[in-house]
Amino acid sequence: MTTIIKEFFIVALLFGVIKIIMVVCRPADELISSITLKLGRSIIYAATAVVILPKKAAGKFDGNAIKNNDMPFSKKITKFLKGIAAEFVKLSGIVYMHNKVDYNICPNCFTKYNEPRYVCPNCGTAYYSLEPSSNGVLSIECSCGHKIPVTAFGKRKLKTLCPTCGNENPLPEIPSFVIVVIGGEGSGKSTFMENSSLRKISTEKETFYETITENEKGREKHVMVVETEGKDFTSSESLKKHRYYEYNSGFIFIIDSFAVTDTMNFIKPNYVLSDVLDTTILNLQKNYNLKPGEMIKKPTAFVLVKNDMLDDVNKGKEPEKLLVENGEEVFLNKIYNSFTKYKFFKTGLGRNDNLEIIKWITRNM
């Protein structure tokens, strides 16, 4: 018994050392930390095999000390070696997946998930997790007899489903980002999106617009632009149901020109710009861990719409100047004090910069 405790202490000590290295490495790079964890597991496997198994072979352990006594010793050795091999395959998977897509966003229910359900290409059986293990280092056998890959490279060839609603992800190889369009009721959010060059997608739960953009290095990004209804800005609780506020990558705040200026022959909207902004900030504070006074780091485009319908004097003014001249200093100060990355744009029926606005947001994510 004393020997068992001593050897358990050795393995535990090794694990403790690995955890300390992980803590030290994590601030430097998450990849280093992940690799360290996998190496640590492999070392523990090896230490266990070297310290415990030889004594089992020599008959120095009690028969009840290790489970699966009926398993031949040769099979136990094989299982341990497969376990070590599986950890190294996982390690190679981490290296392979570095800078690749490590999460997905479901376009149906807008759940963000790291591990999808993988589908057997032969019979359609869905698997919630496929990882290298002692039961299969490179692949496992489905109930239909088909070999299903479990490596990071092999899994990317399989059809994937959202673990929440079961919807298929049509673009598993391209990282997805969500931009939220916000603004008061009747501010022109829908018109802004309808007049864009983005593709409209309607699902059971949401209607959104999508496009594929490229960064400076030529890497593609799948951008989903979703509109929050104006009536939901009456309270932060109304916004809570929209789960994309938890992980969205940026905002487009629509400013109705008629809400700012006293334009003749047009009805002034019955909401206050700063109230809509307050509700958005309060939603992030109450539901998504934004601390009071903390700046919002997500890039936000403030877009003055219906600019073409203003008179000639106001039409040529920059949005900030127009806001100041029409008594919206409070709204502007909230922008200056709450957002670290923001830019003003203006659009009209004869001028549509939607794609340029989205590209500005994606460049500043």
> Is the alpha carbon torsion for 320, 322, 323, 327 positive or negative?
positive
**pTM of the entire structure?**
0.71
Helix axes 30-51, 2-25, angle to 10 degrees: 170
Q: What is the pLDDT of residue 264?
A: 52
Q: What is the pLDDT of residue 99?
A: 65
Class of domain 176-363: alpha beta
Answer whether residue 62 shows pLDDT above 50.
Answer: no
* CB distance 239 to 233 below 8 Å: yes
AA identity, residue 36: T
Output the six-digit token pair for 116.
């999808």
Distance between CA atoms of 183 and 228, rounded to whole angstroms?
A: 8
Greater confidence (252 vs 34) lies with 252
Q: What is the mean pLDDT of residues 255-284?
A: 76
Output the six-digit token pair for 162.
């959202």
Q: In this predicted structure, which of 89-103, 155-169, 259-273 has the lowest mean pLDDT?
A: 259-273
Q: What is the pLDDT of residue 352?
A: 59
- Identify which of 158, 178, 27, 175 has the alpha carbon closest to the alpha carbon of residue 102: 175
Band of pLDDT at residue 334, cut at 50, 70 and 90: very high
Domain boundaries, the chain: 2-97, 104-161, 176-363
Greater confidence (140 vs 308) lies with 140
Residue 224 exposure: Cα atoms within 13 Å on the Cβ side: 27
Q: What is the pLDDT of residue 322?
A: 86
147-149 and 139-141: which strand pairing?
antiparallel
Q: What is the pLDDT of residue 1?
A: 46
Answer whether residue 182 shows pLDDT above 80.
Answer: yes
Q: In this predicted structure, which of 109-123, 225-239, 250-264 has the lowest mean pLDDT?
A: 225-239
Q: What is the mean pLDDT of residues 275-300?
A: 86
Answer whether residue 280 shows pLDDT above 60.
Answer: yes
Q: What is the pLDDT of residue 56?
A: 43
176-182 and 220-227: which strand pairing?
parallel
E strands in the chain = 104-105, 112-113, 117-119, 126-127, 139-141, 147-149, 159-161, 176-182, 199-202, 207-214, 220-227, 250-256, 300-305, 342-346
Greater confidence (170 vs 65) lies with 170
Q: What is the mean pLDDT of residues 191-217?
A: 80
Q: What is the mean pLDDT of residues 246-257?
A: 88
Q: What is the pLDDT of residue 269?
A: 66
Output the six-digit token pair for 355.
């794609």
Q: What is the pLDDT of residue 24?
A: 55
**pLDDT of 109-119, one tens digit each?**
888 888 889 99
Q: What is the pLDDT of residue 336?
A: 93
Where do we find the tokens 């000639």? 312
Answer whether residue 148 shows pLDDT above 70.
Answer: yes
